[in-house]
Amino acid sequence: MSDTRADRDAFRAQEIDAEQQYVGTLYEKLDALRAETERRLRDTLRETGGSPQGRTERDISARMYTEKLTQLSAVEHGLCFGRLDLDSGELFHIGRLGLFDEDNDYEPLLLDWRAPAARPFYLATAASREEVRRRRHLRTRWRRVVDIEDEVLDLDDAEQGSDLGLAGEATLLARLDARRTGHMQDIVATIQAEQDRIIRAPMNGVLVVQGGPGTGKTAVALHRAAYLLYTFREQLSKRGVLVVGPNPTFLGYIGQVLPSLGETGVLLSTVGGLYPGITATGADSPRAAEIKGRASMVDVLTAAVRDRQQVPKDYVETVFDREPLRVDRRAVSQARTRARRSRRPHNVARRVFQNEMFSALTLQVADRLGRDLLDSRDLDDINRELRADPAVCKTLDALWPEITPQELLDELFSSPDRLRTAARKHLDDAERAELLREPGAPWTPDDVPLLDELAELLGEDDAAARAERERQEREELAYAQGVLHIMEEDDEIRDEERLRVKDVIDAELLADRYRTRSDLTAAERAAEDRTWTFGHVIVDEAQELSAMAWRALMRRCPSRSMTLVGDVAQTGALGGARDWDEVLHPYVQDRWQLAELTVNYRTPAEIMALAGTVLSEMDTDLEVPRSVRTSGHEPWTRRVAAADLADRLPEVVAEELREVGEGRLAVLMPPELLDGIGADVAERIPGAVVGTRPDGLESPAVLLTVEQAKGLEFDSVVLVDPDGVLAESERGLNDLYVALTRATQRLGIVHTGDLPDVLAPHPIE
C-alpha cells in the first residue's frame, strides 16, 4: 500500500513539475508580448502626428496598444488553469486568453477559454466525453503550479475513477471554501456545465436566467459578457455592452471580474447612472419608489408636459412697437392643436406653435396698419420684427416654454398644484403627498427613469445646433479634401504611402475620423450619450426593476439582445417582478427564453435548509437550489432583550469575528435599526463600517440593510431582528430569504423576541 501511495505521490510531483515548466513557458510568452506592446505604445506616443490623419491614426493606435497592455496585465493571475487530453493524443492547455507560437505556424500554446475548442473542458462528462480522455485542473499561486486535479473520463481507462457530478470538484470546493476578499472573483476555472450552456447561448433575443441564491447568476452574467465580446468582437466593439447592477456597492464588488477576463470595454452602471449629468445621491421611501416605478407614471408625465402648453382663459396682452398686442384664446388654441397634431416632442413641437402664433400676430399687426396696403414682403418684415421682439417672445414662451426634463420634474414634485393637475386620474391624495419634496432636492435613482421618459416626451429642438454642425461638417470635409490634395501633390511623400492613403481613405472618411474622438471606447462614448443604443444589455438582480426602469433600459437596446438574471423569490422592491412574463410581455410578447440555474455553490446545506422553510412560505412554485457542500456549522441563534441590544450586539459580533478569522462578516438589520444603533455598534467593533462605503466590503465587518446586501456574499452573516425585516416590507419574506442566503460558511441570528414562526419550526443551535 505504501509503495502504491509513494508511486502516486512521485507521479503527481513529476506531473506538477512538467506543468510548471509549461506554465513557465506561457509566462515567458506573456512577458514578451507585454514588452513588445509597451515598446509599440512608447513609439506611438512619441509620434507628433503631423497631419490630421496622422494624429487620428496615432490616437487609434495608442488606444489599441493601451487596451492590449491592460488585457495582458489583467490575465497575470491564473493565466493557465486547465488541460484537455484527447483520444487523439493531442494536449490543449486552457487559459484566460489565447497564446500562439508564431514560429510554428501559429500553433496554439494556450486556448482562450471562450474558444469553441475549449468548450469540452466545461461540458465533457464520462457519459458524453466529446473525445476527451482526461481533464486536468491546474491550481496556481501567481506563477507557480501548486496542485493538479485529474478527471479521467474514459470508462475503459485504468485510471478512471467515479463519475463526478461536478467538473473539477476539488478545485471548485477549494474556491468555494476560500475566504472572501470584499471583491467578487471570476469562476473561469470552475465553470460548470449548466453555467457554460448559458454563457455560450446565442446572443440574439432575450434570455432570462432564473436562479436561486448562490447559483452563480452574477458570475454567469459577467462571463457571458466576456464570451459575447470574444465571439462577436467586431459587432459589439462598435455598440458596446451594458451591464446594469442594483447599486454602486454591487458594481464595486463585481468591478474586477471582467478586467480579470481581459475585457475592459464594458459599461457598468446602475439604472440611476444611465442619465448623463445626473448624480442620484438622494433616497426615496419604499412607497415613493414604488409609485415612481409604476407604468402609469408615463400618463402622469405626459399630462405634466401637456400642462405646460397653456391657453389663456380669454387673452393675454403684450406690447409691440409701443402698442398693445392681444394674444387671444382662439389663436393660441388653434396653434396648440396644430403643434400637438404634429406628434413631435414638446420642445420640437414648440417651433410649430411659435410659427402659428407669429403668423396670427403678423396678421393682427397688418390689420392695424391696413392689410390691403401691404404686400408679402411687408408681412415677412413684420414677422421677423415680432420674432425679434423680447416682450412678444416672452409672452409666447410662457404659453409654450422650452423646458428640460430636470426643470419639469423638479417643479412637478415640488408643486402640489402641478402634481394634482397631472396626477389626479392616477394617484390619490396620499400617493401624491408621498412624492412631494422641496425644490432642488437631490435626485434619487428612481427619478432617473422619469427623467429619461421626460427626455423622450420633451425632446430637444436642435435645429440651430444641427445647422451649425452641418456647417462645421462642410468645412471639415473641404479641409480633408485639401489635405488629400496636398498629399497627392507633395513630392516628399513616398509613392507607396500615397497609394496606401488613396486606397483606404477618402475625404469624407478622413473628416469623420477627425470629428470622432478616437481616444474613447464605445463604452466611454455611451456613458456620455443618453440616446446611445447598445449591442447587448445584461441586467443583474433584474427582478428588482420597476416598470419605468424597464422602459428606460429597453430604449437602450432596441434590438432586444439582452441577458436578464435574477430570482423572483428574492424580489424586495415593492414595484419589482413577481413573474418574468408579466415584465417582458409588453416588449417582446412571448419571444423570450428561460434558462434555470439549479445548483447552489455558495450557501452550505445547513443554511439552505433553514432558508428553504422561508421559501416554502412564499407564493411561488420555485424549488430550493441544491447545495453542493456542507460547512459543518449549523446556524446559531441568540436572544437579547431589546433594551440591551445596542450593548450586547458588539459582543456577539466580536465573538463571530473571532470565528471568521481573516474572512468577511456582514451584520444585516432593518433600516430603522441600522439608522438607530448602527454607528454606535460599529464604533465598538474594530474595523467595522456602516453602510455602502466604497471600501466597506474590504473591512472585516460591515453593517448593512438587507437591500444593501443584495447580490453580495460574505463568509459569515449575523442577522439582527428578523421580525423587523419581516415587518418593514410588504415583501418581508423575500427580504428574509435574501438575508439568510448571503453567507458562504456561517449564519447567526440575533432576535429580541420570539423567533418568527417561519424560522421557529427549524431546529437552530
Q: At what angle do helices 329-341 and 346-369 cross, to 10 degrees?
A: 140
Tell me the backbone φ, ψ of residue 111, rounded to 5 degrees: -85, 130
C-alpha span between 331 and 328 (Å, rounded): 6
Helices (H), 110-211: 120-123, 169-177, 193-199
| Distance from the first to the final alpha carbon of the chain | 42
Which candidate, 173, 281, 221, places its Cα nearest to that of 631? 173
Q: Provide the greatest CA pair distance for the chain.
A: 121
At CA 568, angle to CA 565 and CA 569, rounded to 5? 125
Residue 245 marked in a binding site: no
Residue 212 marked in a binding site: yes
Return all residues near 526 (Cβ < 8 A) that are at least 6 apart. 240, 242, 267, 532, 534
The three grid cell numbers given for residue 160, joined into one nine-digit string:
478512471
| Residue 673, helix vs strand vs coil | helix
C-alpha span between 448 and 328 (Å, rounded): 38
C-alpha span between 156 and 726 (Å, rounded): 56
Residue 37 marked in a binding site: no
Residue 316 Cα distances to 36, 54, 326, 357, 384, angstroms: 74, 60, 6, 13, 21
Residue 217 marked in a binding site: yes
CB-count exposure of residue 666 (10 Å: 0-12, 13-18, 19+): buried
Q: E strands within 444-559?
A: 536-539
Residue 62: how many other CB atoms lie within 10 Å: 17
Rounded to the nearest angstrom, the gap between the alpha carbon of residue 689 and the centroid of all alpha carbons in its chain is 26
C-alpha span between 602 and 563 (Å, rounded): 22
Which candidate, 164, 87, 193, 93, places its Cα nearest to that of 131? 87
Residue 68 marked in a binding site: no
Residue 211 marked in a binding site: yes
Return all residues near 216 (Cβ < 8 A) that are at least 6 apart. 187, 192, 195, 597, 601, 602
Q: What stretch of H or E contains 324?
A: strand 323-328
Residue 107 bridge partners (DSSP): 101
Residue 215 marked in a binding site: yes
Q: What percent helix, strand, coil does the chain show, rounded to 5? A: 50, 15, 35
Which candidate, 42, 526, 629, 578, places its Cα nearest to that of 237? 526
| Residue 355, helix vs strand vs coil | helix
Residue tagged 418568527 (cell numbers)? 756
Q: What is the DSSP letter of 326?
A: E
Rounded to the nearest angstrom, the gap between the alpha carbon of residue 671 and the centroid of all alpha carbons in its chain is 25
> 652, 701 in Cβ contact below 8 A?
no
> 716, 745 in Cβ contact below 8 A?
yes
> 274, 452 in Cβ contact below 8 A?
yes
User: How big is the chain, counted in residues?
Assistant: 765
Residue 684 Cα distances to 92, 446, 572, 690, angstroms: 54, 35, 30, 12
Residue 24 marked in a binding site: no
Return all residues near 617 (Cβ < 8 A) that are at least 6 apart. 733, 758
- Residue ranges at the known binding site for ATP: 211-218
- Residue ranges at the known binding site: 211-218
